[in-house]
Structures are given as C-alpha cells and as structure tokens.
Amino acid sequence: MSRHKRRYYGYGARKLPKKIGQPEQAGAMASEIATAGSAPIPEALVPANLFEVGIGNLFFSSPLPDGRVAVGCFLLDVFCLGVKNAFMSIMARDEYARRRRSWSTAEILQPMSAACFRKLVEGGVAYARDLGFSPHRDYAEASQVFGDVESTTCPTRFEYGHEGKPLYVSGPHETARQVQAIMEQLERRLGTGNFDYLVLAQ
C-alpha cells in the first residue's frame, strides 16, 4: 500500500445475515422457482440509504407452490465492487417472516418492484465487471431467485459510483493484500486520480 495515498474513514461493517433455510441443489431450486406460475408477486427489499452509504443487504423473496419461500440475499456495493456476497435459501413461511423482521431491525428497508430490484443488482454487477471485478462466487446461484422477472420493464435509471467515478471503500474483513489488489486493479483500469478510495485503518 506504500504507493497509494491512504485515507481513513469510519465505515460500518456490512455482511450478509447467517444462511438459513434448507440447503438444496441449485438446479432443484431453479426448477421450483420456475414452476411458481401463479404464485404471489415476489417481495423485494432494499436499504433506504443504499446510494448514500454505498453498500447494503438486499433481499428478494419468491413464494413457492408448496408454501415455502425462496430467498435471495445480496450484499451490493453500488460505489465500486458490485455483489460482494450472495446466497439463496428456501425456508418455511413463518421462518421467513421472523427473519424479515430481524432484517428490518438491522437496517431500514424499503420495498422495490421486482423488475427494478433485478435491474439494480444486475447493473451493479455490470458496473463492477467493467472495472475488472467479478461478483461473488455464489451470485449465479442466488440470482436464480429472480425467475422470469424482466428487468427491462423497470423505468428507473440507477447511477453507480460516487460523484461520477468509482469509490472503493475497504471492507472490515478485507486483508491488506486484498485491498492492495483492488487498488492496483483500479489503477490499471482507470489510471491514477480517476477513482476515489477510503481505506480502513488496520
């Protein structure tokens, strides 16, 4: 990190809730979601201050024909890195209701249309990919919860980055080596001075 100017910022830790529900094969979950058919409209919840703090936990739930609920959880960094963590679980409806209450206690969540939720997440992934960063390894599986929701029907335009350029904020669980690798990738892709960063004091 000696080549980089360090700035320190008190940045609250963000991590996904503990995985819950029944572990199932990705293919099986995708099949169940695809057969939802006339199931109620999915519920999509997004932190109210997502574009102010730059990162937050997003939740997308899709009711299944058997009464259970498929839930996709995404830790989304809209300033730089896209989906930093993700998982999908299938759980009983009462368990989902209990967990939903705990999520709403942890941060203020607001509803969003399913189409816009998918557009928001996929847009974050695309923004990060353009910078050279791939989404979390479980993103492909978790994104199956979207089913046949069409993001193209969402009229909202989301702006990624911060004040016109990427802002990398180091996470509390990132090692010095990981921070250095991200900084170097941003320099290769954008050049010095074309991105901002906030690095946690070690």
Would the pLDDT of 185 be above 90? Answer: yes
Q: How confident is the model at residue 7 (pLDDT cuts 50, 70, 90)?
A: very low
Looking at residue 29, its amino acid is M
Would the pLDDT of 20 be above 90? Answer: no
Residue 61, both tokens? 């739930």
The predicted pLDDT at position 175 comes to 92
Convert the pLDDT of each residue in 124-180 to its tens digit: 999 999 999 999 999 999 999 998 999 999 999 999 999 999 999 998 889 999 999
Q: Which residues pair with 58 in a beta bridge?
A: 74
User: Does residue 87 contact residue 138 with C-beta atoms inside 8 Å?
Assistant: yes
Rounding to the nearest 10 degrees, give the CA dihedral for residues 177, 183, 186, 192: -150
Q: Which of 15-19, 66-70, 77-81, 144-148 has the highest mean pLDDT?
A: 77-81
Residue 22, both tokens? 């029944």
Q: How confident is the model at residue 200 (pLDDT cuts 50, 70, 90)?
A: confident
Cα R_g (the chain), whole angstroms: 18
DSSP assignment, residue 144? G
Rounding to the nearest 10 degrees, give the CA dihedral for residues 144, 129, 124, 50: 120
Convert the pLDDT of each residue in 188-197 to its tens digit: 999 999 999 9
The predicted pLDDT at position 3 comes to 42
The predicted pLDDT at position 81 comes to 98
What does pTM read for this prediction?
A: 0.84
Residue 3, both tokens? 């080549």
Convert the pLDDT of each residue in 75-132 to its tens digit: 999 999 999 999 999 999 999 999 999 988 888 999 999 999 999 999 999 999 999 9
